[in-house]
Amino acid sequence: MNKIRTLSPARSLRGEISVPGDKSISHRSIMLGSLAQGTTLVRGFLHGEDNHATLKAFRAMGVTIEELADGDLRIDGRGLHGLAEPADVLDCGNSGTTIRLMTGLLSGQTFFSVLTGDRYLRKRPMKRVLAPLATMGAQIWGRGGGDLAPLAIHGGALKGTEYDSPISSAQVKSALLLAGLYADGPTTVWEPHLSRDHSERMLRYFGAEVRPFEGGVTVAPQPQLEGREVAVPGDISSAAFFMVAALIVPGAELLIRNVGVNPTRSGIIDILQAMGGSIELLNTRELSGEPVADLLVRGSSLKGIEIGGAVVPRAIDEFPVISVAASFAEGTTTIRDAKELRVKETDRIAAMVEELTTLGGRVEARNDGMVIDGVESFNGGAVKSHGDHRIAMSMAVAALRARAEVSIDDTACTATSFPNFWSLLEKVRV
């Protein structure tokens, strides 16, 4: 859908907000809740398009998932071997997490299934999960020499594996861990730097035997998962847009309540603090095995820094909005080791360079990142989302520091992860 939105510069930002539930945790709560014995209650579930794709897929495999009056979910778990063969193709929409995690999970079933997605997802690489799953004995076929959806999966017996992943990817790791639940022995995954560990945490929370170690993690084949109550924290990747907005607008002050601050996701806080951003973590606590805090963010003078190495997977979805923050930092910011950005919902390096340049930003693409020089403010103008929710929201944040109106083309995509983004942004503008 092609919805153009026009934003005017912000005088200031103020207030208290809560962002919607974490997308990654919401996906996993449906998957594990469906595979568990007994009932799983999911509080604070993210009702975004990506998570609805996962929800529909599990309903199509015979799982009863009831939406309660307040948006919480009650999942009637069917046990590890209780899913039914879906009568039709499972449509994962725009969601890389849905298709890649389900590829692992479906490899271990006793039935046939087909996964597809929208025109963006059908261009994204799948061999990264298919190749290691093949070493477990999975039978999966895809277009493009077995790299592209639609994917056809002939589920069956799996062997445990040891996989040394060349990339730090929670989707690859999680696909293997889920397949590992069905294998005949332990499955171990190594990765160069630790990617988000929500699967490991939630598997353990549901009673699985998961052993993390320096550089990797092992899962034991599991006869049974137990249904639990899951409280989903606010998504730090959604909070990131408001964090950067509050930092770059002079005099702004925002309190963002109930944000997940899992250390494998909180790279954005470390990066923005290293740039001189004022971000305080208040009331840190734990919810269903995940750390949570309230974030107090104040308008700050930022400075350019070097970003690379282990922090990159810890902030992988935040680089579009980090490039906006860097545009208002004094000096140069260099982002390295982030080649993965080229295979996200869109090529996020190319997309941000193009759109920031349109607004008068000084940014250059590198193969594995960007080099960004700070500017005083942006020009007004017309920019595009490239159909990518995080590009659309990053440009909305950029518009707050423009000298004139910015119109953003194709903004309906924000519904994939942050359905009330625009109304929350209006709420905090003063």
Q: Which stretch binds ligand S3P (CB under 6 A): 70-78, 114-122, 167-175, 367-375?
A: 167-175
**Pick 24 or 107: Cβ nearer ligand S3P:** 24
Answer yes or no: are the C-beta atoms of 408 and 383 closer than 8 Å.
Answer: yes
- Annotated catalytic residue 317: yes
Question: Angle 352-343-277 (CA atoms, 0-180°, nearest 5)?
Answer: 45
**Applying CB under 6 A, which of residues 98, 161, 174, 187 lies at the interface with ligand S3P?**
174
- Amino acid letter, residue 378: F
> For the stretch 300-309, what's the b/e string if a residue is b when 16 or more beta carbons lie within 10 angstroms of its beta carbon?
bebbbbebee
* Residues paired with residue 2 on neighbouring β-strands, in sequence order: none
Q: Which stretch binds ligand S3P (CB under 6 A): 53-61, 136-144, 164-172, 242-250?
A: 164-172
* 171 annotated to bind ligand: yes
Q: Which stretch binds ligand S3P (CB under 6 A): 145-153, 170-178, 328-336, 348-356?
A: 170-178
Which residue in 235, 228, 288 sits closest to 258, CA to CA? 235
* 427 annotated to bind ligand: no
> For the stretch 189-225, what's the b/e string if a residue is b when 16 or more beta carbons lie within 10 angstroms of its beta carbon?
bebbebbbbbbbbbbbbbbbebeeeeebbbbbbbeeb
Please tell me whether residue 402 binds ligand S3P under the rule CB under 6 A: no
- Amino acid letter, residue 181: L
Q: Which stretch binds ligand S3P (CB under 6 A): 71-79, 144-152, 163-171, 347-355?
A: 163-171
* 423 annotated to bind ligand: no
Give the span between the Cα atoms of 327 and 330, in whole angstroms. Answer: 8
Considering only residues 328 to 367 of the shown chain, the ones binding ligand S3P according to CB under 6 A are 340
Task: Return the CA Rg of the chain.
Answer: 21
**Pick 202 or 428: Cβ nearer ligand S3P:** 202
* 8 annotated to bind ligand: no
Residues in the interface with ligand S3P (CB under 6 A) total 11
Question: Angle 12-13-14 (CA atoms, 0-180°, nearest 5)?
Answer: 125
Give the span between the Cα atoms of 303 and 277, in whole angstroms. Answer: 9
Query: Taking CB under 6 A as the rule, which mask of x and - marks residues 97-116 in contact with ligand S3P?
Result: x-------------------
* 142 annotated to bind ligand: no
* 317 annotated to bind ligand: yes
* Tokens read off for 348: 């996020």
* 285 annotated to bind ligand: no
Positive or negative CA dihedral for 87, 88, 90, 91? negative
**Pick 169 or 394: Cβ nearer ligand S3P:** 169
Give the span between the Cα atoms of 93 and 120, in whole angstroms. Answer: 9
Give the span between the Cα atoms of 316 and 366, in whole angstroms. Answer: 16
**Pick 300 or 416: Cβ nearer ligand S3P:** 416
Whole-number minimum distance, CB 171 to ligand S3P, in Å? 4
Whole-number minimum distance, CB 392 to ligand S3P, in Å? 15
**Applying CB under 6 A, which of residues 29, 34, 109, 171 lies at the interface with ligand S3P?**
171
Which residues belong to the active site? 317
Q: Kindly list the residues in this chain that would bind ligand S3P in the complex (CB under 6 A).
A: 24, 97, 169-171, 174, 195-196, 316-317, 340
